[in-house]
A and B are shown apart, each in its own frame.
Chain A
């Protein structure tokens, strides 16, 4: 009955096996990349929906509820609308830079996902320099923004780009120091190894021994992605939309995608480095519990725990936006340079002593 189907599959497999090895590897990698990127894009789309709904409910509104059942088709309608909107290229702009900059800002936001481990061994590129790669590639995102602001040849865009550039580099230092703390604790740059180093129980996760670095990392992450309360670079009421004021249609949508992909990335990294990634918080319970068929799979470690932790951080992003008023620019710079950097430097020195001395109260993990 289904013979034709199996024949078809066999035929496809035969074609695949007739290719040279290099092509086979490249093809499989591309399949994996699509399998990673498609859910990511759906997450980005529904994160915008979640943002509008959650902030709506926090402000006693309903949020979008017209397109589809309870508004669930809203992000798709938005995407279609943006696709058909005219892309305006201002007369005074540098045309090529203007169009290249959205690409420069989304490429790093996507490329970092190559090294994110979703489960034990479930990672596209299991490279030893994982965290270094993350730091390097996320830093590239600022180019897209600065070039966009410059190429637009508009005052608001230039002001927004200058602000965002200075803000991102200031917080990147605090973020980098926080990452150094994680490295000291884990002794490895590989993100999978970092997660495995946290196994034990919820108190072995690095959030506890690295508590100040954890908080600084997440707050810097909010600042890096220009989310409220650090969104002076695109503050609607001050400089309209900042660096992407001249962008419309798909060119704007690409910036938008990059911003939300970066938010999800920060959430994933925070979950992996400080909340034990795919590890279950119930680790340490008697073995018998994990042998129960369904319950054991739910309570045991797995990708679902990573997703739950990421959802928590993403909810925090939205919560902050609904709660806090925007910082003034000088306050942002003061927080970055005069508060976070001194705290992280001191904490790194303390941490080094604790690791070398194997001080038990909060360094039993090493």
Chain B
């Protein structure tokens, strides 16, 4: 059973190795003639003014928080979906109640405008 997961582990290591090898290869084969103009951050030809790590919109945080809620819910739905036919109507109603509570929260945030992007 668990030995089925060995290829997965090896594949992940190979995946990381492929990326690393390609970048090392890129460094090995390419020239490197840095100068200060070339290494400055791209800003459409203008001199860079102020730091690039500026304040950004709080709504990105909001999306991230909502994502955590919904993604947890999906993780919760996965095992439920697999055994749905075994647990029958009782399991269905239990999940419907759970989803109902979640939908109330979803409607609340919708009405509050958390999903608005102008």
B residues near A236, Cβ cutoff 8 Å? none
Within 8 A of B (CB), among A309-335: 329-330, 333-334
Taking the complex as formed, is A6 at the interface, i.e. its CB lies under 8 A from any CB of chain B? no
A86-B32, A108-B15, A158-B53 are contacts. A127–B23 as well, Cβ < 8 Å? Answer: no
**Shortest CB distance B66–A (Å):** 8
- Size class of the contact patch on chain B: 35 or more
Question: Could you tell me if A162 and B74 are in contact, using CB atoms closer than 8 angstroms?
Answer: no
Once the chains are docked, how many angstroms separate the CA of A85 from the CA of B31?
7
A residues near B74, Cβ cutoff 8 Å? 135, 173, 176-177, 179-180
Once the chains are docked, how many angstroms separate the CA of A107 from the CA of B14?
8
Taking the complex as formed, is A183 at the interface, i.e. its CB lies under 8 A from any CB of chain B? yes
Once the chains are docked, how many angstroms separate the CA of A177 from the CA of B6?
29
Question: Could you tell me if B30 and A183 are in contact, using CB atoms closer than 8 angstroms?
Answer: no
Once the chains are docked, how many angstroms separate the CA of A125 from the CA of B57?
42
A residues near B63, Cβ cutoff 8 Å? 166, 169-170, 333
**Shortest CB distance A139–B (Å):** 8
Once the chains are docked, how many angstroms separate the CA of A3 from the CA of B41?
63
Question: Could you tell me if B23 and A99 are in contact, using CB atoms closer than 8 angstroms?
Answer: yes
Question: Could you tell me if A33 and B64 are in contact, using CB atoms closer than 8 angstroms?
Answer: no
Contact of A107 among B19, B36, B41, B96 (CB under 8 A): B19
Task: Report whether over half of chain B's contact residues are helix, strand or loop; otherwise say mixed.
Answer: helix
Taking the complex as formed, is A269 at the interface, i.e. its CB lies under 8 A from any CB of chain B? no
Stretch from A54-62, A216-224, A286-294, A351-359 forming part of the interface with B: A351-359
A91-B36, A127-B5 are contacts. A184–B19 as well, Cβ < 8 Å? Answer: no
**Shortest CB distance B106–A (Å):** 7
Stretch from A7-15, A23-31, A204-212, A277-285 forming part of the interface with B: A23-31
Taking the complex as formed, is A72 at the interface, i.e. its CB lies under 8 A from any CB of chain B? no
A residues near B56, Cβ cutoff 8 Å? 158-159, 162
B residues near A87, Cβ cutoff 8 Å? 23, 26-27, 30, 32
A residues near B70, Cβ cutoff 8 Å? 173, 176, 341
Within 8 A of B (CB), among A75-107: 82-93, 99, 102-107
Interface string of B45-73 (1 = CB under 8 A from A): 00010011110110110011011001100
A residues near B8, Cβ cutoff 8 Å? 111, 114-115, 125, 127, 133
Contact of B19 among A106, A124, A341 (CB under 8 A): A106
Once the chains are docked, how many angstroms separate the CA of A86 from the CA of B32?
6
A154-B41, A158-B54 are contacts. A88–B10 as well, Cβ < 8 Å? Answer: no
Question: Could you tell me if A355 and B67 are in contact, using CB atoms closer than 8 angstroms?
Answer: no
Once the chains are docked, how many angstroms separate the CA of A131 from the CA of B4?
15
Taking the complex as formed, is A296 at the interface, i.e. its CB lies under 8 A from any CB of chain B? no
Within 8 A of A (CB), among B63-96: 63-64, 66-67, 70-71, 74, 77-78, 81-85, 88-89, 92, 95-96
Taking the complex as formed, is A240 at the interface, i.e. its CB lies under 8 A from any CB of chain B? yes
B residues near A181, Cβ cutoff 8 Å? 81
B residues near A26, Cβ cutoff 8 Å? 6, 10
A residues near B40, Cβ cutoff 8 Å? 90-92
Binding site for B on A (CB under 8 A): 25-26, 29-30, 32-33, 37, 82-93, 99, 102-111, 113-115, 124-128, 131-133, 135, 139, 150, 152-159, 162, 165-166, 169-170, 172-173, 176-177, 179-181, 183-184, 187-189, 240, 245-246, 249-251, 253-254, 257, 329-330, 333-334, 337-338, 341-342, 345, 348-349, 352-353, 355-356, 366
The 10 A-B pairs with the shortest beta carbon distances in the complex, nearest first, are A250-B26, A103-B19, A330-B117, A176-B74, A183-B81, A107-B15, A110-B15, A154-B41, A169-B67, A125-B7
Ordered by A's residue number, 11 sampled pairs between the chains whose C-beta atoms are within 8 Å are A88-B38, A102-B23, A125-B7, A132-B78, A177-B74, A187-B82, A330-B117, A338-B110, A356-B85, A356-B89, A356-B92
